Amino acid sequence: MKSSSLAVGLFLIAIFGSVFAEDIGPDTCGQDRKVLSSWFISHGSPRLLLAPLPPLFMNVTEDPYEDPNKPPLSPEDIPGFCAMQWSNETDPESGNRLYTLQNFDTVVEAQSAGFIITHEGQCAACSSLQDLGVYMSRNLTTPTRWCGVLGLFSPELEIQCMKDLGFSEECASIWHWNVKNTRSKCLEVCIKSFIEDEPFNKPDGSLNDCLQCDEDLSGPNFKYYSGRTRRNSGIPSAIQRPESQIYDMEHCYWYGTLDFPSDNSTESIWSEALEFLG
């Protein structure tokens, strides 16, 4: 079992070490990244969303990678923008303000309706502000690897691990299918990439073979059903991408104060990982 865990762990290092590497960028409006991300996680729960919900904002219960006709649109053909609007109504339990997510064809259309763009492309499973906070945060490399290792033994444990990191149930569901598919299709090339200590990008700027495999074989369905990605939310990562692939935006739409403690769930998850692997 330990040898299997090690192999999957090496694979996840290669994939998710790049996806969740530390970064600093203009997306946080100059605010402390940990504080702002914690604020969005604590104030952006999907249960605060007002109806009607966007059509693709849902728990992805069936594996889209099993259907050769999915996704129905390629990433470059996904239209519009996902925008949010705070309500004056509050949740009686938490006191947090409710909010709306809605699809718009253009930025101007969204702004004219009093909405704020939260990412490029249609709203879907990871479009909540809670999931924005998780994407915006950093130091998630190790615990996300551990979530993937858990998935080898139990899909339920993997999904719960993702939720413990802050992901909503909806977003954790598409992450589960994405990890499962990449683990199935790219395991060998990703282990090779890690052993050879390949940088994320080749000298010509293209992705290394592991990341390219994930991009080609898992990316289209993930982008369609997740809605939000780092790139279309303007959030930088350690992977070098052409500027044309990163939507230029910042997330300045919090309310109240940002004096909010950072979440330390990642440390507890890593402690569990060490105990499990012995």
Residue-by-residue DSSP string for 125-172: TT-SHHHHHHHH----HHHHHHHHHHHHH-HHHHHHHHHHTT--HHHH
Which pLDDT score is estimated for 212?
93
What does the pLDDT read at residue 260?
57
> Which residues span the domain enclosing 31?
2-277
Task: Please list, in sequence order, all residues whose beta carbon lies within 8 angstroms of the beta carbon of residue 262, skipping any fewer than 6 positions away.
Answer: 34, 35, 38
- What pLDDT, on a 0 to 100 scale, did the predictor assign at position 276? 44
> Is the previous residue joined to 71 through a cis bond, with omega within 30 degrees of 0?
yes
Question: What pLDDT, on the 0 to 100 scale, is given for residue 71?
Answer: 97
Q: What is the pTM of this model?
A: 0.84
Measure the CA–CA gap between 278 and 274, rounded to whole angstroms.
Answer: 6
Q: What pLDDT sits at residue 15? A: 53
Q: Which residue has the tokens 């998710």?
A: 16
pLDDT of residue 266: 46
Q: What is the pLDDT of residue 42?
A: 95
Task: Check residue 179 and give its pLDDT.
Answer: 87
- Give the Å distances, CA to CA, from 178 to 21, 138, 167, 252: 18, 20, 14, 29
Number of helices and strands in the chain (H, E) = 10, 3
- Report whether 137 contacts 21 (CB < 8 A): no
Closest CA to 62 of 146, 198, 180, 148: 180
Q: Rounded to a whole number, what is the largest CA-CA distance in the chain?
A: 57
pLDDT at 196: 87
Question: What's the pLDDT at 261?
Answer: 53
- Split into its structural domains, the chain has a count of 1
pLDDT along the chain (278 residues), means of 10: 50 49 65 92 97 97 97 95 98 98 98 98 98 81 65 87 92 92 89 85 90 93 96 85 88 88 48 43
Yes or no: say if 87 and 70 are a contact pair by the CB < 8 Å rule.
no
Edge-to-edge strand list for the sheet holding 116-120 = 97-104, 81-90, 116-120
Q: What's the pLDDT score for residue 10?
A: 54
